[in-house]
Structure 1
Amino acid sequence: MPINQTYAQYSDLSVVSAMAVYFLALLLHAAESAFGRQALKREAKLAAVAAGGGGTAVAERPAPPPPRERPLPERLGRMGVALTVLGALLHLASLVLRGLATSRVPWGNMYEYISAVCLAAVVAWLVMVRRHPVRQLGAFVLTPIGIMLFIAAKLLYAEAAPVVPALRSYWIVIHVSAAVIASGAFLVAGVISLLYVVKASNEANPKRFAGLAARLPESAALDKTAYRVSVFGFPLLTFGIIAGAVWAESAWGRYWGWDPKETVAFISWVIYAAYLHSRATAGWRGTRAAWVNVAGFAATVFNLFFVNLVTTGLHSYAGV
């Protein structure tokens, strides 16, 4: 079918706009973290004065904010979340328009696939912000998402075109969509687990990562959030691998051939299975389990970039 160039151009414009909005949201979250840290320092100083000077601290304590007025860091954080929602809508529009332009699902090459993974990660992050007190992590989560989206849009960009014949199957909807959502969830979980390691290290030794750890939520909140995101992503990864095997049998006459993509996907599955098992085992909870989750995140990124762009196999559909 002919390509609708108008939709394709609007898709490109939408993804660039989404990148700009994500960047503004990142700046607001960074400002929230900076001002929040300053507020913590002021509170610590007042507590020290109160401990050493008795009534002096009462005279020096600033007046409380007017009723119903939120602290500046919270306002900045809420603005960052609002912009992230706007960016996600623009991001979704870019994928929908790319699909309408090509009359197919919008993940037929590396540019589209990474863009879809980034959108899944943003949506997963917004859901976690809604349910858990982890909004302060916005800058840390949006940074790798922004980098990946920039790489996709600037270095891996592909013109709107039909997919190669091997991908013209309804399995591209089933198999790849599961992989996209799972990869996006694991991206968020991996970043949060890495931050959990930082926080736990600081709690064990207050001199380690003192500046960074002061900006992070409590380690228990980080651990719970990373675990719940991984619990959501693991069944999708499992389903995606099974669906891929069924597609491989219909396309290539075998369910499994240890293709580089298949091999690394299986390694990722084993790592995440080990993480969920270790998280349920008392002796491996905490930092050890978090490192396993970080290893799974590293395997996911390796599979996303190195396997797709460097190795050669039956899954070499990067389009670059």
Structure 2
Amino acid sequence: MPVNETLSQYSDWSYTTAVAIYVAAMVFFLVEQSFGRKGRQAAQRTRERSRELVGAGAPVETSATAPAGPPPATPARPIGRAERIGRMGVALTVLAALLHLASLVLRGLATSRVPWGNMYEYISAVCLVAVVTWLVVLRRSPVRHLSAFVLLPVVILMFVGGTMLYTAAAPVQPALQSYWLVIHVSAAAGASGIFLVPGVASILYLVRTSHDNDPARFARLGHRLPAADVLDRIAYRTTVFAFPVFTFGVLCGAIWAESAWGRFWGWDPKETVAFIAWVIYAAYLHSRATAGWRGRRAATINVLGFAATVFNLFFVNLVTVGLHSYAGVG
């Protein structure tokens, strides 16, 4: 089926615009990261100074002198400039994610297939899942000022994908013309995108705990991070969600391999590294359930799992030769 060049061009423009807006959002989040906490600390110091004045003899209303009636309503905390910039960063991230989604949809419409048939499209799908996962995390945890750390690998991956790994829109090669492309690869891309979030959270957890143990280490960054238990909780919950998806993707890959190559498992490089990553994440979840291996040890295992996922994404597809060598780089 011929490729719709117009839709393909719109897809490329949407992709490029999304990357640019991600970069702008990252700058906004960095501003909040740098100045937002200082404002909150200043407000905290002001409240502490007020308490000191009261304790030093400043007049305090008692039940006898206090006016009758209900107590006055507590005024809403004013939103600082840095917090407004952080909210603008979230709005930009949502806009970029919509354009990012549009680029994938247009790519699929242009080629009349699912838009993850080569490395360029696969990386784009992985990054979109990572961004959507992080937006969900932001709804549940007050960690908006950490968004720049999540967007940084997304921007790097999309820049590499859009430059060095870009492939013109075209039908997939015959080996990939199967309904398993929809099932297996979508599960792999979804799990890989979700794993990016706990990978970053675990790295920040190690930074935070290192600073807590020795304030001289990571002095400029450590005190700006959330409490270690918050980062640990984000890493654990997202990994718990991603691991079954990853397991499903591995099992679907084995079934597809049996259908295409006549065997479920052949120790192909990509199969092998995917299995190693699966074992590492299983070890992480087991370590979190074991009291003696929580904390830094568990976070280190999670970072190793993330490193194995990135290694499998780039090195295995682009360097090694195997049955999965269909990166489509051109």
Written as runs of structure 1 = structure 2, the 5 A alignment for 1:117-156 is: 117-156=126-165
Q: Confirm or deny: 8 A CA contact 1:37 1:214 kept in the other structure.
A: no
- Which deviates more, 35-44 or 87-96? 35-44
Deviation at 1:301, TM superposition (A): 0.4
Equivalent position of 1:8 in the other structure: 8
Cα distance in 2 for residues equivalent to 1:76 and 1:213: 22
Tell me which moved more, 34-43 or 164-173.
Answer: 34-43
The one-letter amino acid paired with 1:25 is A
Rate the CA distance shift 1:138–1:284 in 2: closer, same or farther, 3 A.
same
1:260 deviates by 0.3
Q: Structure 2 matches for 1:170-319, cutoff 5 A?
A: 170-319=179-328
1:136–1:215 Cα contact (<8 Å) kept: no
Unaligned runs of 5+ in 2: 59-74
Structure 1 residue runs without a partner (length 5+) = 59-65
Distance, in Å, in 2 between the alignment partners of 1:34 and 1:221 is: 20
* Residue identity opposite 2:42 in structure 1: R
The alignment-based identity, stated in percent, is 65
Question: Is the 1:109–1:317 contact (alpha carbons within 8 Å) kept by the matching residues of 2?
Answer: yes
Q: Equivalent residue for 1:63? A: none
Aligned to 2:324, the other structure's residue is in SS state coil
CA distance in 1, matches of 2:328, 2:310: 18
In the TM superposition, what is the alpha-carbon distance from 1:40 to its structure 2 partner? Answer: 5.0
Paired amino acid for 1:85: V
SS in 1 for 2:320: coil
TM-score, L = length of structure 1: 0.93
Question: Partner amino acid for 2:16?
Answer: V
Q: Which residue of 2 aligns with 1:61?
A: none
Counterpart of 1:26? Answer: 26
Alpha-carbon distance between aligned partners in 2 of 1:150 and 1:84, rounded to the nearest angstrom: 16
Paired residues of 2:39 and 2:80 also in contact (CA < 8 A): no
> What is the SS of the residue equivalent to 2:152?
helix
For 1:42, the aligned partner's letter is: A
Instruction: Tell me which residue corresponds to 1:78.
Output: 87
CA drift of 1:52 comes to 9.2
Map Cα deviations across residues 25-59 of structure 1 (whole Å, 9 max, x no partner).
Answer: 10110000111243255357658978999989x9x
Quote how far apart the aligned CAs of 1:219 are.
1.0
Equivalent of 2:174, from 159, 165, 179? 165
Q: CA RMSD in A?
A: 2.0
Q: Give the residue type in structure 1 aligned to 2:124.
A: S
CA contact (8 A) 1:133 1:221 kept: no
1:62 aligned partner:
none
Q: Find the aligned partners of 2:185 and 2:227 in 1 and give their Cα distance.
A: 35
TM-score when normalising by structure 2: 0.90
Shift in Å, 1:72? 2.0
Query: Cα distance 1:299–1:253, how it changes in 2: closer, same or farther (>3 A)?
Result: same
Deviations 1:255-314 (A, max 9, x none): 000000000000000000000000111001111100000000000000001111100100
Q: How does 1:106-117 map to 2 (within 5 A)?
A: 106-117=115-126
Three-state SS of the structure 2 residue aligned to 1:160 is coil
Are 1:105 and 2:114 matched, yes or no?
A: yes
Which residue identity lines up with residue 269 of structure 2 in the other structure? P
Letter in 2 for 1:177: S
Name the SS for the 2:197 alignment partner: helix
Contact 1:136/1:217 (<8 A) preserved: no
Cα distance in 2, alignment partners of residues 119 and 261 from structure 1: 22
Cα pair 1:202 1:209 within 8 Å, conserved: yes
Larger deviation, residues 119-128 vs 214-223: 214-223
Give the whole-Å Cα distance in 2 for the aligned partners of 1:141 and 1:84. 11
